[in-house]
Chain A
Amino acid sequence: MAITQFLKGNEAVVKGAILAGCRAFFGYPITPASEIAHTAAYYMPLVGGTFLQAESEVAAINMVYGAASAGIRVMTASSGPGISLKQEGISYLAGSELPCVIVDIMRGGPGLGNIAPDQSDYNQVVKGGGHGSYKNIVLAPNSVQEMFDFAILAFDLADKYRNPVFILADGFIGQMMESVEIRIPEVKEPEKNWAVKGTVETMDNLITSIELDPDDLERHVSKLQQKYKIVEEQEVRYQSYMLDGAEIVIVAFGIVSRVVQTVVDELREKGVKVGMFRPITLFPFPKNEIADIANEVESFLVVEMNNGQMFDDVKLAVGNRKPIYFYNRLGGNVPTTKEICDKVMEILRRS
């Protein structure tokens, strides 16, 4: 049975999380992510879970560390400045191999920046952000439906790989309302026999990220890299849109991909051979898929709401085989369809 609800992205992600079995939310208010906390505050106590407004994002992520150590599904949410503060804790979560879900509703930066939608947390979320050789698994939804669906997926991935999973969205995806088809998922939470639950069975367990001996730590960090490799082999997700016969492919994620979809529709109507490639997982990045596309097309255009943070990953995938153009807006501006259409036409005129 599927039913339809009209939801904000920030509500949908909580509903998905609760249906996925998440029973604890720790967070600190920040625009444009606050409705996630509001929604969790409303529902968590009703479903037998915990909602706690922490004293800071630092505290919130460490509460997540505690609840994850105890083996329950737990989440937090924030935006740029708060994610910066959480980085210490995220590094510890990755080091201790604790599963959790972190939602980042990106806003303009650096510093206090503004509260408009932005994509400039790409590097701090996709490239690790905190100290140490670790990776987050990163899902980038572009609709309210995906905010719901990816919440469920995120918990499954987190448990499967014992790793923090990010849902990386922006102010618009968080704030907008769309219809969401809701199906109640079959939740299969794996047995967490590594957790510390305050029971006889788990009293020999230890959650830690410290390994004093360099050889021991090397073994541990190598094991993490092994895990990331499996993630790269098995968990790549992406969406291709109108790639058939495309001469130029626009690469975009999140809200920008929604704008680009309209751009592709409009330009295709005029006979322009353009398509879109949308990475859904930012780590693992669909680099092989982009490399394959590079064999077929003339050029790429990367459109982002930051200073080219995903551009670097596209560049790594394409190498020097095909030109990669770049268009961005900064400061919380969303590129318009017209701007992107103009950019595509300019590239096609030049080549």
Chain B
Amino acid sequence: MSKEILKKSEVFYEVYERKPGADKLTTTYCPGCGHGIIHKMIAEALEDFGVQDRTIFISPVGCSVFAYYYFHTGNVQVAHGRAPAVATGLKRANPDSIVISYQGDGDLAAIGGLEILHAANRGEGFTVIFVNNAIYGMTGGQMAPTTLIGQTTMTTPRGRDPVNDGYPIRMSEIIATLEAPVYVERVMLSDSKEIMKARAAIRKALKVQIEKNGFAFVEILSPCPSGWKMTPSQAKRWVADVLSKYFPVGVKKDISAEFEGRKKEVKKVSKEEIAKILGIVEAEEVDKRVNKYVDKDVSEEIKVAGFGGQGVLSLGITLAYMGMKHGYKVSWLPSYGPEMRGGTANCHVKISKGSIGSPVVSYPTLLIAMNRPSLDRFENDVVSGGIIVYDNSLIDREPVRSDVTVIPIPATKIADEIGSTKIANMVVVGAIVKYLDLMSVEYIIDSIDQVIKSKKLADMNREAIRKGVEYMTTNYKLG
């Protein structure tokens, strides 16, 4: 061996200070273990490529859990199997860093199966070194997802039986089926010729990251003499003669030549721009029309209910938002979640001069029922002396309560006449605001598109509010 090869790479610490105990010069790996050789090949590549100071090495859970004793790079130790997720976070935070996710077969193919699959599928710009030794080394030789059929381990004492344990998983082949990975190769540490190929694969994988910010995956069939209960030379032979027969070495995917690179510049956005993006802009002058209401003593508890799709929630939002604009305290609380789809919807709105405690409206002062089931369900909850507004173009009965004010509005009919069933909710907004004299109708008409963002409906919404007002003016002789 030449002096060159014996020299320890500068990417390794000269003395392993983080390693407990007296011996700070040797590694924790067993004789004949592949981890040491792989570490060395990675370290030399990082040194040759001049990226040591940018590199972050992820120590997984497994025999290489203490890789950070050795690598003089940034180091992050992570939970079992989660290295690709952590690498994703690291790389997204600092796209210029060089991140290595170093994982064993239990780590990558069993407990972390999902994380590796999805990081690969997103084409994250980090490099995966997957050490396949067909066994759980660290925990004392249990079955790995890559343990061969018939191979005995502590948890397959009679040999791995596919009926009970399934088959060994070929991760490289699986990863190679995905669109995003740039380079996937399986290599083995059997003899010096194969080791040179492994070295080339590791270097190429790192190049893919350094030059193109691409995802590369190198699976290394690696001897574990302790776990396999073999001598180091037997173990090397077993890699070549047995393991590689099931896990064929070679390039599984390589699009590095045509891959254009993954974008990585981070946009710098100023504080002022961020405020603008979040809609935090100089407050507009208070509209004079709302001033009339500043001293109004209001305490409305409103329940709006109807079919999903009738605009029940946006009716409530409109009342609450406009209430806020008139200086009231407001809250809006929806029924929510998937149960709403196609079903009934309702929301609770409070508009009040004083501060609002509970946002829940159990006993409304005003019930707006947009369909029959809503009237049936909530009529009895309305407080005595309260108001029931209902769409009498859809609801075929009158409320039976005699201790409340009942206001029928053919909202859907009026909306249809304007041109869209969808705007029945705005007819009701106009009618209620007019009836209660809670807010400035003109202000609401002028600013409705602050709430209802649909440009298509904007004109019709305004028309609908006007018609609602008009309906009340005509039928209730309101000035």
> Do A and B associate with each other?
yes
Chain A residues in contact with chain B, CB under 8 A?
1-6, 15, 18-19, 23-24, 26, 31-32, 43, 46-48, 50, 52, 54-56, 58-60, 62-72, 74, 88-89, 92, 96, 115, 171-172, 175-179, 182, 184, 196-200, 202-210, 212-213, 216, 258-263, 265, 334, 336-338
Is there an interface contact between A18 and B278, defined as CB atoms closer than 8 Å? yes
CA distance A52 to B121 in the complex (A): 13
Q: Which 4 A-B pairs have the closest CB atoms?
A: A66-B89, A198-B97, A262-B357, A70-B93
CA distance A213 to B19 in the complex (A): 11
Stretch with Cβ within 8 A of A (4 or more), from B175-183, B269-277, B407-415:
B269-277
CA distance A26 to B91 in the complex (A): 13
Is there an interface contact between B277 and A69, defined as CB atoms closer than 8 Å? no
Is there an interface contact between B89 and A70, defined as CB atoms closer than 8 Å? yes
| 19 CB-based A-B contacts, threshold 8 Å | A3-B280, A3-B283, A50-B93, A58-B85, A59-B118, A62-B89, A65-B78, A66-B90, A115-B337, A176-B331, A176-B359, A184-B280, A196-B76, A197-B74, A199-B54, A200-B53, A216-B20, A262-B357, A265-B357
B334 at the interface (CB under 8 A from A): yes
Chain B residues near A205 (CB, 8 Å)? 74-75
Min CB gap B2→A, angstroms: 29
Chain A residues near B321 (CB, 8 Å)? 6
With A3-B281, A66-B86, A336-B360 as known contacts, state yes or no: A55 contacts B115, CB within 8 Å. Answer: yes
Is there an interface contact between A179 and B90, defined as CB atoms closer than 8 Å? no
With A47-B274, A55-B114, A115-B337 as known contacts, state yes or no: A337 contacts B358, CB within 8 Å. Answer: yes
Is there an interface contact between A198 and B94, defined as CB atoms closer than 8 Å? yes
CA distance A260 to B96 in the complex (A): 52
Instruction: Pick from B54, B93, B279: contact of A66, CB below 8 A.
Output: B93
Chain A residues near B115 (CB, 8 Å)? 55, 58-59, 62
Closest A residue to B321 using CB positions:
A6
Chain B residues near A52 (CB, 8 Å)? 88, 92
Is there an interface contact between B360 and A198, defined as CB atoms closer than 8 Å? no
Instruction: Pick from B52, B76, B86, B358: contact of A63, CB below 8 A.
Output: B86
Beta-carbon contacts of B50-84 to A below 8 Å, as 1s and 0s?
00111110010000010010001111111100100
Is there an interface contact between A203 and B72, defined as CB atoms closer than 8 Å? yes
Instruction: Pick from B72, B77, B268, B275: contact of A210, CB below 8 A.
Output: B77
Min CB gap B405→A, angstroms: 23
Is there an interface contact between A89 and B79, defined as CB atoms closer than 8 Å? yes
CA distance A182 to B115 in the complex (A): 38
Min CB gap B478→A, angstroms: 28
Chain A residues near B99 (CB, 8 Å)? 198
Chain A residues near B65 (CB, 8 Å)? 210
Min CB gap A342→B, angstroms: 13
Min CB gap B40→A, angstroms: 19
Chain A residues near B338 (CB, 8 Å)? 31, 115
Is there an interface contact between B92 and A24, defined as CB atoms closer than 8 Å? yes
> 8 extra interchain contacts, Cβ-Cβ under 8 A, other than A15-B278, A197-B94, A258-B358?
A69-B76, A171-B336, A177-B320, A179-B329, A198-B53, A206-B18, A207-B76, A262-B357
Instruction: Pick from B56, B59, B89, B360: contact of A65, CB below 8 A.
Output: B89
Is there an interface contact between A262 and B358, defined as CB atoms closer than 8 Å? yes
Instruction: Pick from B79, B85, B360: contact of A259, CB below 8 A.
Output: B360
Instruction: Pick from A88, A209, A212, A258: contact of B359, CB below 8 A.
Output: A258
CA distance A208 to B57 in the complex (A): 12
Min CB gap A181→B, angstroms: 10
Most interface-central of B266, B282, B337 (chain A CB within 10 A): B337
Is there an interface contact between A6 and B320, defined as CB atoms closer than 8 Å? yes
Is there an interface contact between B336 and A31, defined as CB atoms closer than 8 Å? yes
Chain A residues near B324 (CB, 8 Å)? 4, 6, 179
Chain A residues near B93 (CB, 8 Å)? 23-24, 50, 66-67, 70-72, 74
Chain B residues near A203 (CB, 8 Å)? 52-53, 55, 72-74
